[in-house]
Amino acid sequence: MKKKLLYVVNADWFFFSHRLNLAHKAIEEGYEVHLLTNVSSVSDHNKKGIKVHHFPFTRLGVNFFREIYAVVKLHNEIKRIQPDIVHLVTLKPIIYVGLISLITPFNSVVIAVSGMGFLFTSKNNIFFSFLSRVILILIRKIVTKNNSKIIFQNSYDQELILKDKKSLLKKSVLIQGVGVKVNKKSYQEEVARKEISVVMASRLLRDKGIIEFFEAAEIISDIRGDVKFTVAGDIDLGNPNSLTQLELDVMRKYKFINFLGHVSDIDKIFEESNIIVLPSYREGFPKVLMEAASHSKPSITTDVPGCSEAVKHNVTGLLVPPKNTQALVEAIIYLVDNSETRKEMGKQAFLRAKDKFDEEKIIHRQLEVYKELLG
């Protein structure tokens, strides 16, 4: 009989973007794969054998009675599916299953911790401080009451969350990112162009650094005519950090930056770029930086958890302080003016991606976690 593997994820688009290939490989390995998620109207759910179940996860609000009802309903859904392994991705599934674990243990649980460090470093925010304590308690409950593994994407989160619980270290594993298709690619040397193309590929969220990128583009465009700025990504109105439609409309009026909106063929954008920029305030392990490296492009990103492990400073790109427009301006101008450095960083980024971020290697490590839990 096939072992049942259940992914529990806030939003279907996130799963299809970050875990779909893992799920397909699990099916090839003989698992019966289920997905419990908030099914959107725009997603194609005929995903080669994945059994999709709708669950109304909410991204906004913390209505107590609604959340308790959701926990009970999720418990019933998981009991109905009867999975051998439950793989939790994103914050709310971790919280919900943590609460369920207080009463009912599961066969095996995998917790994917992705970029939660910001909760534990937001000391001045009372809500985040409270939430961080709740998450710590629930993660530890899941781990101690179930046959389980915690997958961390960056070492900062791993150390921060387990710093006073070293006994849980043996139940944790560090797998950096979800990987990118790089094994069949070869190094692509930069093509000479009249203008240097600087691209930010991201949802238009404030904590992705979209404001700083816009400001840097404006400053550089005032003094340079050889740099082209592009943003590939759209607003996300379900996220409180998103730009509003009005803010985006105002930004689009300026000629120094091109907003493409959602882009289905992001590979083409990377191929035609020279520098990739991601000025995030925090990340788990940003896929966009791995994709940039797989296309032999240097990246400029911030010296924050996740980003600082995806890019090696002065080797595969540059690290700048977060929320620092002037530092971002200086880093962009440096790579624009130093073509040989830019090309060498792109080459080193590709070699590192091939060694560390190859999707096949990452997926193999994830499947090994499942096998270990099943014994």
| pLDDT digit string, tens, across residues 28-69 | 999 999 999 988 765 555 567 899 999 988 766 567 788 888
**362 φ, ψ to 5°?**
-65, -45
Domains 4-179+358-374 and 196-356 in one fold = yes
- The yes-or-no verdict on residue 11 having pLDDT over 90 is no
pLDDT at residue number 41: 60
pLDDT at residue number 128: 61
Q: What is the CA radius of gyration of the chain?
A: 21
Helix or strand run (H / E) with residue 134 = helix 126-145
Can you list the positions of beta strands (E) in 121-201? 147-152, 172-174, 196-201
Tell me the C-alpha distance between 152 and 173, whole Å: 6
- CATH 3.40.50.2000 assigned to domain 4-179+358-374? The reply is yes
Tell me the C-alpha distance between 375 and 19, whole Å: 23
pLDDT at residue number 183: 66
- The yes-or-no verdict on residue 121 having pLDDT over 70 is no
- The yes-or-no verdict on residue 192 having pLDDT over 90 is no
The DSSP letter of residue 84 is: S
- pTM as predicted: 0.89
Give the pLDDT confidence of 158-171 residue by residue, as tens digits: 887 777 777 778 88
Tell me the C-alpha distance between 161 and 135, whole Å: 9
Mean pLDDT over all residues of the chain? 89
Tell me the C-alpha distance between 211 and 230, whole Å: 13
Which stretch of 41-45, 102-106, 359-363 has the lowest confidence by average pLDDT? 41-45
pLDDT at residue number 375: 84
pLDDT at residue number 258: 97
Q: Are 188 and 372 in contact (CB under 8 A)?
A: no
The ranges assigned to domains in the chain are 4-179+358-374, 196-356
More confident residue, 157 or 44: 157
Residue 196's pLDDT band, with cuts at 50, 70 and 90, is very high
Tell me the C-alpha distance between 142 and 326, whole Å: 44
More confident residue, 134 or 283: 283
β partners of residue 201: 232
Tell me the C-alpha distance between 115 and 121, whole Å: 11
- The yes-or-no verdict on residue 129 having pLDDT over 70 is no
Specify the 3-state DSSP secondary structure of 231. Answer: strand
More confident residue, 105 or 119: 105
Q: Are 280 and 307 in contact (CB under 8 A)?
A: yes
Residue 244's pLDDT band, with cuts at 50, 70 and 90, is very high
Can you list the positions of beta strands (E) in the chain? 4-11, 32-38, 51-54, 85-89, 108-113, 147-152, 172-174, 196-201, 227-232, 257-261, 275-278, 299-302, 317-320
Instruction: Pull the structure tokens for residue 375.
Output: 């014994």
Give the pLDDT confidence of 73-90 residue by residue, as tens digits: 999 999 999 999 999 998
- Which class in CATH covers the domain with range 196-356? alpha beta
Angle ∠(135,281,267) on CA atoms, nearest 5: 105
Overall average pLDDT of the 263-277 stretch: 93
Give the pLDDT confidence of 327-355 residue by residue, as tens digits: 999 999 999 999 999 999 999 999 999 99
Across the beta sheet with 196-201, what order do the strands follow? 257-261, 227-232, 196-201, 275-278, 299-302, 317-320
Q: Please give the distance of CA 295 from its chain centroid, rounded to a whole number.
A: 18
